[in-house]
Each structure stands twice: as structure tokens, then as C-alpha cells.
């Protein structure tokens, strides 16, 4: 199951506010990218099935240098438990 | 010890401003192969970069621009003025192409992307692969940023940060070539003579308006070329470079919510820190 996803990207727009993909069409952007020197904290909260005793969470940061290629930049796996349960 | 003088004769491209009628002539005028004789390591590093394939790596977008932009949206024929909206940065040597040659490059781009004959596609790609951001483009064509004060780059002269004389070619110092303003000529918003911007990237603006405004003092070259990177000029296509640019920490904990029901809940905190001098992603 996916706990959550965040995408950091730009949306290119024409003057009418329509998203455009061609650099000749784009005249302004909505900027959802990571900004330099501005650390960012993201929180994710997910409820799990009631009988879950422990879980492994994979956290992955990927970049798409072009539309066809995905490269993993950072990846870590965290293991969590849920106490004794009642 | 006796010194033996060496006379070194190299046939170097002149990069004379002219209007070339054929792709062969244009490529010959901007031929970077002689540079390998003395700068083999630098040439090899450069050849691994997207600068070296700035033409062929952008063919899909160029094709879309020709077919969807110029022909359908703008309802006109594709020519040099339209080509240079892309090629002024992707293959600046095309500034010296005739109108006929510019149209041929457009046709080759369409062949390379759309033609069903694999041999024709391959031939077109091979032809276009000879264009891009090569040694002459950076060290002559684009080397003089302040053209109104300093004049156009001189034919046959190669500009570098030191201007150290060379027996092989004319040399001159360009202060700009080591500054962010040099890279900003292409890695920022592009406004052609008709003033309709081409929004390929606004990286230079991000660098100035965020990083420099916040007190950052490094240049593009400091991060992308120095400290051993040289002419590999690593960027978003190099995952190690991206990894260096994005700081990452993650913590996770399991809790039980809703007293009585005690629903197992995963809580995850991720911290990202963009340590680059500009937004990520961009290019």
C-alpha cells in the first residue's frame, strides 16, 4: 500500500491558464519545485489493518530527468512496531 | 639539456561568421575533432554530456514545435527564424546556416523522429548528431557575453578563463566564461527578437532570485565544473549529482490511534533539503 506521494514539479501555463507542455506555448509557471536553501518537511499518516503487528516502510526519492527515465536518488527502509496492542 | 622546438600545425576550425549552404560545410566550420589533439581528456568528458547531444536529445520537442507549434498553431511554414527559437541554444552554430540549410535541418529532424524507414532515421540522426553545444560553441560563439562592449568573438580565437597563449590557435581571456552569466545565456528564459518568450527553463532566474537573493555566492561552474567535475558538467541526468544536491532524512514510528479501537497507524516524517543553487527539478 502507498502511504503517500509528493511530486515536486512545475506546471507550465498559457495566458488562459491552460497547462501546456511545449516550451513555445508556456508563458508562466506554477512552481511546486524544491526551492534552494528552503528545507522542507513532509508528513505522512496512514492507518493500517487492525491486525498489523509491525510494518516495513520504504521511502524513496526519485527524479525523472526526462519523461521516460526514473532514477532513484535516495531510498531507505524503516521498520516500525505497534506496541503490545490491547 | 637541449630543447627541441616543435612546430605544431593543426587545422582548426575558423568559425567564421558566414551563411553556410550545406550541413557538411557548417559542421566543418565548427569541427571540434582537432581539439582532441591537445585536449583529449576534456573532449572525452564533454562527449559524455548532454551538451554534446543537445541537438539529438531535443529532437522530440523540436518535432512537436515544427508540426504542432509552427504549422498547426501558428499556421505558417517552418524556417530559420522558427528553428533558431530552439537552436540558438541547442545548436548555436546554426546561426550561420542559410535559410535553405535551416529548412533542411527541420526536415532532417522530422525524418529522425517520424520516418518509418529505420535507415533513413539513422542517417538523419547521424547527420544531426554532428550539431550541438561543442567546444567552438562555448569557447568562441558564446564566449563573449558583453558583445556591445567587447565586440563579437574573433574567428579562430578560443576564449578561456585564463587566455593562456597556445601555439595551436589564437587565445583570449573571457572573464564571463567562468561566471554564471555565461551559463545563463541558455539556461534561462529565452526571448528572441520578436519578444515572444520560449519557456524551456528559468533556471538562471531561479538562481538569481532565490539562491543569490538569499546570500548564495557560488557560481554555476563552482558546483557543476570545479572540484574534479571538469567538463562532465554533471546535472540532473547524473543521479550522484542529484543525490549530492538533495539532502534527505526520514523517520517513522508506529502508533495506535482512537482509544478503544487502537488502530495501528504509521507516521512518517521526511525532510528534504535542496542544497543546489536553483530549484529542483529544472534544467
B122-159 pLDDT, tens digit each:
999 999 999 999 999 999 999 999 999 999 999 999 99
Closest CA to B135 of B235, B49, B236, B22: B49
Rg, C-alpha atoms of chain B: 23
pLDDT of residue A3: 83
Instruction: Find the mean pLDDT for residues B76-92.
Output: 96
Residues of chain A positioned with their CB less than 8 A from the CB of B252 = 57, 59, 78, 80
Would you state the torsion angle of the CA atoms of residues B220, B221, B223, B227, taken in this order, to the nearest 10 degrees?
180
* Mutation target among B82, B279, B283 for the A interface, most CBs of A within 10 A: B279
Does the residue A35 lie in any domain?
yes
| pTM, 2 dp | 0.89
Distance CA B250, CA A3 (A): 14
Across the interface, whether the CB atoms of A9 and B281 are under 8 A apart is answered yes
pLDDT at residue B16, rounded to an integer? 59
Q: How many CB atoms lie within 10 A of CB A77?
A: 11
Task: Give the pLDDT score at B12.
Answer: 58
Does residue B127 belong to any structural domain of this protein? yes
Q: What is the ipTM of this complex?
A: 0.92
Contact B202 A71 (CB under 8 A): no
Looking at residue B14, its pLDDT comes to 54
Q: Which residues of A touch B214 (CB under 8 A)?
A: 36-37
What is the H or E stretch that residue B81 is in?
Answer: helix B80-90
Model confidence pLDDT, tens digit, residues A12-65? 999 999 999 999 999 999 999 999 999 999 999 999 999 999 999 999 999 998
Bridge-based pairing state of the strands B246-257 and A28-31? unpaired
Is A19 a domain residue? yes
B91 CB burial (10 A radius; 0-12, 13-18, 19+): buried
Position B18 scores a pLDDT of 79
The domain boundary, picked from B119, B142, B165, lies at B142
Q: What is the pLDDT of residue B1?
A: 47
Contacts of B192 in chain A (CB under 8 A): none
Share of chain B above pLDDT 90, in %: 89
Domain tally for chain B? Answer: 2
Residue B122 domain-assigned?
Answer: yes
Residue-number span of the structural domain to which B137 is assigned = 10-142
A31 in any annotated domain: yes
Same domain as B135, residue B255: no
Question: What is the pLDDT, as a whole number, of residue B104?
Answer: 97
Tell me if B269 and A85 make a contact (CB, 8 A cut-off): no
Instruction: Determine whether the interchain pair B61/A22 forms a contact, defined as Cβ–Cβ distance below 8 Å.
Output: yes
Asked, for residue B195, whether it belongs to a domain, the answer is no
B105 inside domain: yes
- Chain A's closest residue to B269, CA to CA, is A43
Determine what percent of chain B is predicted with pLDDT higher than 70: 94
Phi, psi angles (nearest 5°) of residue B221: -65, -35
User: Which of B142, B164, B193 lies at the terminal end of a domain, its last residue?
Assistant: B142
In a domain, B282, yes or no: no
Identify any residues that bridge with A30 across adjacent strands, giving them in sequence order: A11
Distance between A16 CA and the closest CA of chain B, angstroms? 15
Q: State pLDDT tens for residues B151-199.
A: 999 999 999 999 999 999 999 999 999 999 999 999 999 999 999 999 9
Using the predicted structure, report yes or no on whether residue B15 has a pLDDT greater than 80. Answer: no
Which residue is closest to B191 within chain A, CA to CA?
A24
Q: B190 pairs with which residues across the strands? A: B198
- pLDDT band at residue B237, thresholds of 50, 70 and 90? confident
Q: How many domains does chain A have?
A: 1
- Hey, are the CB atoms on A3 and B254 less than 8 Å from each other? no
Q: Which chain A residues are Cβ-neighbours of B85 within 8 angstroms?
A: 24
pLDDT number for residue A84: 66
Q: Which of B248, B271, B277 sits opposite A36 (nearest CB)?
A: B277
Domain that holds residue A35: 10-81
Spatial neighbors of B184 by CB under 8 A, at least 6 apart, are B204, B207, B208, B220
**Does some domain include residue B133?**
yes
The answer to whether residue A38 sits within a structural domain is yes
Query: How does the average pLDDT of chain B come out, rounded?
Result: 92
Amino acid at each position: 500500500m502507498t502511504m503517500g506521494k509528493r511530486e515536486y514539479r512545475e506546471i507550465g501555463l498559457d495566458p488562459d491558464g491552460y497547462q501546456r507542455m511545449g516550451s513555445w506555448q508556456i508563458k508562466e509557471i506554477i512552481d511546486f519545485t524544491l526551492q534552494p536553501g528552503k528545507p522542507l518537511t513532509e508528513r505522512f499518516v496512514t492507518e493500517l489493518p487492525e491486525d498489523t503487528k509491525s510494518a516495513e516502510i520504504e521511502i524513496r526519492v526519485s527524479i525523472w530527468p526526462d519523461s521516460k527515465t526514473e532514477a532513484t536518488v535516495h531510498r531507505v527502509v524503516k521498520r516500525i512496531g505497534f506496541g503490545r496492542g490491547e | 639539456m637541449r630543447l627541441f622546438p616543435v612546430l605544431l600545425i593543426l587545422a582548426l576550425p575558423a568559425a567564421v561568421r558566414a551563411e553556410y549552404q550545406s550541413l557538411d560545410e557548417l559542421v566543418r566550420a565548427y569541427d571540434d575533432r582537432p581539439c582532441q589533439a591537445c585536449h583529449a581528456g576534456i573532449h572525452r568528458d564533454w562527449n559524455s554530456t548532454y551538451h554534446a547531444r543537445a541537438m539529438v536529445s531535443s529532437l522530440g520537442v523540436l518535432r512537436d514545435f515544427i508540426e504542432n507549434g509552427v504549422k498547426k498553431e501558428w499556421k505558417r511554414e517552418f524556417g530559420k527564424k522558427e528553428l533558431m527559437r530552439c537552436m540558438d541554444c541547442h545548436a548555436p552554430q546554426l546561426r550561420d546556416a542559410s535559410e535553405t540549410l535551416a529548412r533542411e535541418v527541420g526536415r532532417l529532424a522530422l525524418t529522425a523522429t517520424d520516418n518509418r524507414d529505420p535507415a533513413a532515421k539513422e542517417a538523419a540522426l547521424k547527420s544531426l548528431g554532428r550539431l550541438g553545444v561543442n567546444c567552438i560553441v562555448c569557447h568562441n560563439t558564446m564566449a563573449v557575453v558583453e558583445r556591445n562592449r567587447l565586440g563579437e568573438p574573433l574567428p579562430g580565437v578560443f576564449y578561456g578563463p585564463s587566455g593562456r597563449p597556445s601555439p595551436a590557435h589564437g587565445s583570449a581571456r573571457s572573464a564571463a566564461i567562468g561566471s554564471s552569466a555565461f551559463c545563463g545565456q541558455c539556461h534561462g528564459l529565452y526571448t528572441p527578437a520578436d519578444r515572444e518568450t520560449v519557456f524551456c527553463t528559468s533556471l538562471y532566474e531561479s538562481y538569481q532570485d532565490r539562491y543569490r537573493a538569499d546570500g548564495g555566492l557560488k557560481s554555476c561552474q563552482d558546483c557543476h565544473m570545479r572540484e574534479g567535475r571538469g567538463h562532465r558538467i554533471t546535472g540532473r541526468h547524473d543521479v550522484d549529482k542529484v543525490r549530492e544536491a538533495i539532502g534527505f532524512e526520514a523517520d517513522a514510528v508506529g502508533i495506535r490511534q482512537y482509544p478503544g479501537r487502537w488502530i495501528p497507524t504509521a507516521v512518517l516524517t521526511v525532510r528534504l533539503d535542496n542544497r543546489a543553487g536553483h530549484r529542483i527539478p529544472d534544467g
